[in-house]
Structure formats: C-alpha cells, structure tokens
C-alpha cells in the first residue's frame, strides 16, 4: 500500500483541484472515510464537516437509506442512455420535483451538474423566444456579485469584475448586469435597490430573453442575503417587460435557507428553475432544470421542434434513484425544525466574532452562517488551523462560512462553532 506522503505527492504533481494549480502550496488532506458529519483522514484525524461538501451533503455521509437506493438500482443497471429510452427512477424523480416546486413548473430536464443546468436554462430561454419569432431576445440580465457556474454560458452571467472568471471576460458572451440590492433579508426593498434592474429592463427589454439570479442568497459571489421584497419586485418587472425569470436554486434549494426553495420566501414562481447540489444528498452529480408548459410548448411548436441539448449521462439511473431517496428522506424528516435550530445556534455562537476589528459582519440565514472579514484570507495559512481545531471549513476571499449537514447534533455544531470562533479570534 502506498504511504500517505506518496499519495499526496502524486496528487500534488498530477491532480488539479477546484480553483487551484498542480504543485500548489495550499494543503490538501487525504480522506479515508466519512460518516454522519465526521470526515476521517487517512492519518486518523477526524474533522466535523462544516461545509456539507459545498452545500450538498444535507443528510451527512454514508446514510443507510441512500446507500440502499444505490445498491438496489445497481442490481438493475448503473446507466442507460436517455435518448429513446427512459426508466422508473427518472420518471418518479421528475414527478416528485414537479410536485414540490412552484405550480407553474411542469417539465424537467436532467443534466450532470449545476453549471450545465444553468446552460440548459439559458438555452431554453433563448430558444423560447426564437420559437416566438423574437430572435432579438437573446441576452441575459443578471446581478453583480452573482455566481452561476464555471462553464462558458454560466460564467457570462457571473460577476464580470469581482467574480472568479473576470480573466475570461473578453471571451464570454456580453450579458447585461445590474447592481445588486443592498437591502438585507429583513429589510424592505427601496427604490434605490430596484432602480438599477428596472433601468436595464426599461432600456433593453427588447433584447433580453431572461433575468437570471440566485434567489435570496448570492452564494459564491459573496454570500450576500437580500430581501424577499426585492425578489417579488423582480418577478413583477419581468412580467411588465415581457422577459422570462430564471431562478438558480442550485445552492439554496432543498431547505438550506429555511424554506424548501428560497423563492418561497417571496411567494413567487420562476419561469425556469435550476436545481442541483443537495438534489442527491451529495452522493452523486445530478442537476435538473424545470420549466413551465408554456416554455416547453413553444419550443416544441417552433423550429427545429425540439430542445437542442442532450448530455450523454442525462438522467443517470444511479443518480436519479439516489436523488429520489434523498428528496423523500428530506421531506419525511423534521428538516424545518432542524434548520431553524441550526440558525439559532449559528447566530448565538458566531455573534462574538462581531467584536473583532478584522471582522466586517456576521450574518446568518437558515443553515448558513457567514463571517465576512475586511481583508482577503490567506488560505495556505488558515486552512491548517481549522484542521488542527478538528473541523473542516473552506474559506474563500474574505469569507469564512458554515453550512453544516442538517443532521448535525447540537454538540457537534457547538464544537464546530467554537473552533471557528477560536481561529477567527487568533487571526
């Protein structure tokens, strides 16, 4: 068996990690196993997971019910092409997603990842207007500080200046951007908040296919929370100016904000909805793009009479079976109470960080806790401190944030929060 050091050295020389380079000095840690909310490293170190594997592992790791779903599906088939064929797991999952999302959404397109779900949504919007003989409506309008994925279409609607993809700006489709609102989650939306988006719609609606945004929480673009009142007004403006509304709930879907879907805070429905991450409970990669019958009908009636997208691994049976089990597991659990309790403990536990001069703000919404600093973080030096403290937290830019699995116990959450506060205090 290869030693830990040998494996890590091979990793360092040959493996690319997210937003990293080969031979990086930022440490990576070799994982042996994961159970519940505990990650066990190869050297025996145990870490309480504060990230849910980037929002996705809401049920924790190695859940027996999800394991069983994979095992049962595996006995039938691991994969089958979705062109001309279908299977029970995909059909039942699609029906369940239609049942639990806002009523106008009636059709489901499965894809491999959140970024691709956004690409699909953008193509749906453009093809919808093409079918209606309004081919000039092909640009997207979005908010600054947003993030929608790493593929080229998704990058084009992510923050063009301060986002992770600014160096590609000259190669991307040129979309339209409006300043993000400054109204916090509990604030009313002022005229100053909504004016930038209104201005763009008023001046460019004839060329805008859709507005795309992350409802209530802007994730990787800054972990910013904004008012449901703003989202309600966005829906009204889209109706007024005859543009579609795409909501990217890849990060916020399945309970993370305290509602099953973040758009429920505003009691609105999009024309197109993107889901991913927690869809499979973090077990496998799967995403879904839901649309209204009106969009599907128009695309069918237009040229070329079909939607022009089709991933090889679309509706993978293993992923669909796992997602079906994961969503049912969530709906059958007291997830609202769990998220509310996590929010209370995060607020109480992280608040002391507000006293530190290097901390700009502490904010909590649902099972999301954010400590925003004044200065960017040195990940190379900070990451090991969290590991030494027995927790797995992955900061970025100026943010230290927590999004633990919903199954975390009060004791585990207390240990996680205590470790984070201690590291922040020592910075």
Cβ 58 vs Cβ 255: under 8 Å: yes
Residue 15 vs residues 31, 58, 70, 223, 314: alpha-carbon distances, Å:
15, 27, 28, 28, 26
Catalytic residue among 193, 277, 283, 401: 277
Catalytic residue among 147, 226, 283, 401: 147
Q: What is the C-alpha to C-alpha distance for residues 133 and 124, in angstroms, rounded to an integer?
A: 14
In the beta sheet, which residues pair with residue 224?
218
Query: Is 248 part of the annotated catalytic residue set?
Result: yes
Query: Is 128 part of the annotated catalytic residue set?
Result: no
Which of 19, 23, 241, 21 shows the shortest CA–CA distance to 8? 23
Q: What is the C-alpha to C-alpha distance for residues 253 and 257, in angstroms, rounded to an integer?
A: 8
The tally of CA atoms less than 13 A away on the side-chain side of residue 281 is 30
Cβ 241 vs Cβ 202: under 8 Å: yes
Instruction: Look up tokens 């009908």; give the residue.
Output: 297
Q: What is the C-alpha to C-alpha distance for residues 228 and 234, in angstroms, rounded to an integer?
A: 10
Catalytic residue among 159, 248, 259, 283: 248
Element (H, E) at 345: helix 335-350
Catalytic residues: 19, 147, 248, 277
């Amino acid at each position: 068996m290869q030693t830990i050091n040998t494996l890590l050295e091979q990793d360092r020389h040959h493996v690319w990690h997210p937003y990293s380079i080969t031979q990086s000095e930022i440490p990576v840690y070799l994982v042996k196993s994961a159970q519940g909310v505990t990650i066990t490293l190869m050297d025996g170190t145990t870490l309480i997971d504060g990230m849910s594997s980037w929002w996705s592992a809401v049920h924790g790791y190695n859940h027996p019910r999800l394991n069983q779903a994979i095992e049962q599906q595996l006995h039938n088939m691991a994969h089958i092409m979705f062109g001309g064929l279908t299977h029970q797991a995909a059909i039942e999952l699609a029906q369940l997603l239609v049942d639990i999302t806002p009523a106008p959404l009636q059709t489901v397109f499965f894809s491999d990842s959140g970024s691709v779900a956004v690409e699909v949504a953008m193509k749906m919007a453009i093809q919808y207007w093409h079918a209606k003989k309004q081919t000039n409506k092909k640009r997207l309008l979005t908010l600054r500080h947003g993030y929608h994925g790493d593929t080229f279409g998704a990058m084009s609607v992510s923050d063009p200046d301060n986002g992770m993809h600014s160096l590609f700006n000259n190669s991307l489709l040129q979309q339209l951007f409006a300043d993000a609102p400054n109204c916090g989650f509990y604030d009313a939306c002022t005229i100053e908040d909504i004016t930038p988006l209104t201005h763009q719609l008023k001046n460019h609606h004839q060329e805008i296919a859709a507005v795309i945004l992350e409802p209530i929480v802007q994730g990787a673009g800054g972990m910013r929370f904004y008012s449901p009142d703003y989202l309600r007004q966005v829906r009204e403006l889209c109706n007024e100016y005859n543009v579609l509304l795409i909501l990217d709930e890849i990060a916020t879907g399945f309970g993370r904000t305290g509602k099953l879907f973040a758009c429920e805070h505003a009691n609105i429905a999009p024309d197109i909805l993107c889901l991913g991450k927690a869809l499979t409970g973090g077990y496998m990669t799967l995403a879904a793009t839901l649309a209204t019958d009106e969009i599907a009908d128009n695309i069918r009636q237009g040229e070329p009479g079909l939607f022009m997208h089709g991933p090889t691994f679309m509706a993978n049976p293993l992923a669909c079976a796992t997602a079906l089990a994961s969503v049912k597991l969530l709906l059958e659990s007291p997830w609202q109470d769990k998220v509310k309790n996590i929010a209370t403990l995060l607020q109480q536990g992280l608040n002391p960080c507000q006293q530190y001069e290097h901390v700009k703000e502490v904010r909590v919404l649902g099972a999301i806790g954010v400590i925003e600093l004044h200065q960017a973080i040195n990940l190379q030096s900070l990451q090991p401190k969290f590991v030494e403290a027995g927790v797995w937290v992955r900061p970025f830019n100026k943010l230290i944030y927590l999004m633990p699995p919903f199954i975390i116990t009060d004791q585990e959450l207390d240990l996680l929060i205590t470790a984070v506060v201690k590291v922040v205090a020592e910075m």
